[in-house]
Amino acid sequence: MAADVIAENEASAKKLGWEAFVKQDVLNFLLGHNLQAITVDDGAGRKAVIKRTSKGDYSVQITSNEIL
């Protein structure tokens, strides 16, 4: 039971780490290089796409494939 809680907390921390990486580092890279869109894939089932909208905003889409 305790191992399940620890595994769940670790998975949650990794997910937050991935989201933080995308929303900070990847977004800063996109802005710094004046790109319209960027796709990031970690090779382990997580993927993120950041696109500049016609209004000048940024759309972030994060997906994941998790095996339970």
Read off the pTM: 0.71
Which residue did the predictor score with more confidence, 45 or 13?
A: 45
Element holding 15 (H helix, E strand): helix 2-21
pLDDT digits (tens, 9 = 90+) for 2-44: 555 445 555 555 666 888 999 999 999 999 999 999 999 988 8
User: What count of residues does the chain have?
Assistant: 68
The closest alpha carbon to 57, from 24, 32, 39, 31, belongs to 31
